[in-house]
Amino acid sequence: MWKTTYFFRGQALCTAASGEEICDTVDSGLTFMSWNTYNFRRKEWTHRRPYDNDHLTRSFEDQCNFILQHAPDVFCLQEATFTKDGPTGSYVDMNTFEQKFSEYKLFFHKYSRYNLYRVIGVRNTLNPIQEDELTECATLTYSGKKIMVCSVHLPLSTVDKAISRLETHLQMSKSKDNVVIMGDFNYPEYEKSSNGESINSVMQKYKFKNHPPQRPTGIKRGKIIDMIWWKGLTPLQLTPSHQDTRTHTVEKRFAYSDHLPIMQRLKL
């Protein structure tokens, strides 16, 4: 007698044996989303004049609803700001943010003197834990295996500094089999540093792969700077409900931030 176990998002749903009705739900992988939220502001906002037309540039509700609508299993946000840190253009209460995403375990890491946060959200069903306080990463359990997820926002000053910061993350992920690194890299993947390295060459050196978007994700700069990289996992197509399956950016026209959100489905 044969016996087959079927999975959905890493969870065993049912086991079908010969002579029994076979379940038609199979492992669909996990969906990952990355988005620079621009202080939860619309793309017209400028940090140099944070209070001009304040109410017109607020997009927190729109951004949250958009994320929840697309229901990623894991999301990484950059440039999230909260009122508890003072008047930096922020208007969002952290408790309100946490209530919006109650189905997710949230990990916050402040990384800027402007009180910017990287936020990692992982569905509670994936048993997420913080990797450690220094790595700015989280670990989830999927199909009985561990996957480490890191959110990055690399410095804009020079590509050399961006790659140096990236190497820190890559060194810490070196001993892990399954890793996803995503975020705002601030430079296109083939832009060269002073010694001829690029984000692409460094990521490949550490065995990472990606499916880059085909249109600019940094709207104001007109460059592809938001990316999702992985090792130890296999890419899958996005579902039809995600509107832009070819490029992994979610919307062709988008005004909720000065960056486009990007998504990728992956399985072990």
Domain limits for position 229: 31-267
Whether 224 is covered by a domain: the verdict is yes
Q: Please provide the size of the chain in residues.
A: 268
Q: Report how far residue 153's alpha carbon sits from residue 80's, in angstroms, rounded to the nearest whole number.
A: 11
Q: Does the pLDDT value for residue 248 go beyond 80? A: no
pLDDT at 25: 42
Tell me which of 116 and 27 has the higher pLDDT. 116
Q: Report how far residue 41's alpha carbon sits from residue 109's, in angstroms, rounded to the nearest whole number.
A: 19
Tell me which of 214 and 97 has the higher pLDDT. 97
pLDDT at 6: 36
Whether 21 is covered by a domain: the verdict is no
pLDDT band of 16, cuts 50, 70, 90: very low
- Name which of 241, 182, 236, 233 is nearest 28 in CA terms: 236
Q: State the average pLDDT over residues 231-250.
A: 70
Q: State the average pLDDT over residues 34-47.
A: 91
Encoded tokens for 107: 């990990």
Q: Does the pLDDT value for residue 99 go beyond 80? A: yes
Gyration radius from the chain CA atoms: 19
Whether 7 is covered by a domain: the verdict is no
Q: Does the pLDDT value for residue 228 go beyond 90? A: yes
Whether 99 is covered by a domain: the verdict is yes
pLDDT at 7: 39
pLDDT at 213: 84
Q: Does the pLDDT value for residue 116 go beyond 60? A: yes
pLDDT at 27: 60
Whether 239 is covered by a domain: the verdict is yes
Spell 212-236 as b/e; 16+ CB within 10 A means b: bbeebbbbeeeebbbbbbbbbbebe
Whether 12 is covered by a domain: the verdict is no
Whether 58 is covered by a domain: the verdict is yes
Q: Report how far residue 161's alpha carbon sits from residue 58's, in angstroms, rounded to the nearest whole number.
A: 32
Q: State the average pLDDT over residues 52-61.
A: 87
pLDDT at 12: 41
Provide DSSP, 144-168.
Answer: TEEEEEEEEE--SS-HHHHHHHHHH
Least confident of 83-97, 141-155, 179-193: 83-97
Phi then psi for residue 161, to 5 deg, are -70, -35
pLDDT at 79: 95
pLDDT band of 183, cuts 50, 70, 90: very high
**What's the number of domains the chain is made of?**
1
Q: Does the pLDDT value for residue 23 go beyond 60? A: no
pLDDT band of 125, cuts 50, 70, 90: very high
Half-sphere exposure of residue 93: CA atoms within 13 angstroms, side-chain side = 4
Whether 175 is covered by a domain: the verdict is yes
pLDDT band of 161, cuts 50, 70, 90: very high
Max mean pLDDT among 9-23, 112-126, 226-240 falls in 112-126
- Name which of 147, 70, 78 is nearest 118 in CA terms: 78
pLDDT at 2: 43
What is the pLDDT of the chain when averaged over all its residues? Answer: 84
Provide DSSP, 196-238.
Answer: S--HHHHHHHTT-EE---SS-SBTTTTB--EEEEEES-EEEPP
- What CATH code is carried by the domain that includes residue 215? 3.60.10.10
pLDDT at 95: 96
Least confident of 199-203, 215-219, 234-238: 234-238
